[in-house]
Structure 1
């Protein structure tokens, strides 16, 4: 049984999400996030098309109760994540409202940030709570078998009722392999994401996809679907020609695509003994 009193004074987002899931009991599918929010003193959840914000939590500073608004402009699955994000703000009582009416979250706030400012820290914590609640490791990891494949993220999407982008990011974070992903539109990078161990990606936002890659050729053909995982040029994606990289691309509609990269990283002590510095943090949407 969900009881907000038992969640008081828990400030770590992952632990807080775990406690909510423990109260909820065994699940074999999508978390009923609206019902969870309503059981934890959210008096109403409005999921609709709105202008000017991604999500909003209307509450007072004492968190007596709250109302959540979630925008469906980016899809119903994205709106589920937004509901969980706003619930995170509500439950983490150290979070300070952005104005007198509560929390107003813009699309740019739905990314984890590395900045130390309170606003970005709060947004990152709300995102962490949301993904740990909606895609807990015990449900996501069993889908991530070897070798990696974008179809695993699609299975996670369908099982957990999340956006494909959130599931690819969760795949990168939880998989045993060293992964990265490049989201693109009409052959240009929208944003790259990589695991901590993946080497620096030379292909950054606004860049054209490397022409020597299988992803570029598949996108040029314009046929929707998922390519097979094939070995690719490491130097096309990174500044390290010594590693082996495989790639796979899913071509969606209206010129949108995502390319999954899998790096075979040398064990520490291999070759000249150098190891790759851990960089980057996956974010969620």
Structure 2
């Protein structure tokens, strides 16, 4: 594989940078060959091992003359692929300030409220955005999406793109035009939620029980596995907006981990913006598994 870093030097934002890489690649056979791409862009060595304490490391100098990537494999192949793409993003976005003398070390919860911490958070978010845009570009994602939202599309995306299911669900929500949200749970307790900008506020936080009137709660209570079909949830099961009709679909694994896709039927009246900030705004982070 032959790629030219010179053509990427003037591209500083993660989305356009990933698209510029794909423009050089041309047509690709899925999954996107992230390790080959990294090596073609001056990453001299890539090591994937079971690690403790951090997800990935990029060894490089301030000029980015060459780089080496170390990725954690403890959370599975999907996560490791994402980490390689994430570290490649740090390498190519030369405005990213090294976190140490020898490069970057990226931990799952390395966030601080200092000025340096805010810069670090922005850099991590940009590296995440580059990673998902490289591994699952929208033109290729469109090929696995059905006419209407369906969690089965995310599973097909997971298999085709070699992503985690969580990253695939996020990408589907990001791409589709409908007001969508996802609620990840374990044994009927909420792990976290993500939503599109047009979806109403979901008043749930980590550790809360799933609403007992929801289909998702009954799926967990009855230990059902696999996919449900969409079901019309009772009013205000998921939001504090009684005028918004919500449809839900759940996929539950035998381990008790589940994801519930929420689809809001937004009327003209319910499309008006709510006051205040939504603390559950969607932000692309590294997939959980």
User: TM-score with structure 1 length normalisation?
Assistant: 0.93
Name the SS of the counterpart of 1:162 in structure 2: coil
Deviations 1:5-49 (A, max 9, x none): 111131111000000001111124211000000000000111121
Structure 2 counterpart of 1:13? 14
Match 2:273 to one of 271, 276, 279 = 276
Structure 2 counterpart of 1:55? 56
Task: Determine the C-alpha separation between the residues in 2 that align with 1:16 and 1:116.
Answer: 24
Instruction: Give 1:61 deviation, angstroms.
Output: 1.2
Structure 2 counterpart of 1:168? 169
Deviations 1:141-175 (A, max 9, x none): 23222321100001111111111000000011101
Structure 1 counterpart of 2:254? 253
Number of equivalent positions: 277
User: TM-score with structure 2 length normalisation?
Assistant: 0.91
RMSD: 1.8
Deviations 1:227-255 (A, max 9, x none): 11111024111110111110011111322
Task: Determine the C-alpha separation between the residues in 2 that align with 1:231 and 1:166.
Answer: 25
Structure 2 counterpart of 1:204? 205
Instruction: Give 1:276 deviation, angstroms.
Output: 3.0
Q: Where does the alignment leave 5 or more consecutive residues of structure 2 unmatched?
A: none
**Distance 1:70-1:117 versus aligned 2 partners, 3 A rule:** same
Task: Determine the C-alpha separation between the residues in 2 that align with 1:108 and 1:76.
Answer: 20
Task: Determine the C-alpha separation between the residues in 2 that align with 1:199 and 1:144.
Answer: 23
1:194 partnered with 2:201 = no
Task: Determine the C-alpha separation between the residues in 1 that align with 2:117 and 2:148.
Answer: 36
Task: Determine the C-alpha separation between the residues in 1 that align with 2:196 and 2:185.
Answer: 18
Task: Determine the C-alpha separation between the residues in 1 that align with 2:119 and 2:283.
Answer: 20
Name the SS of the counterpart of 2:192 in structure 1: strand
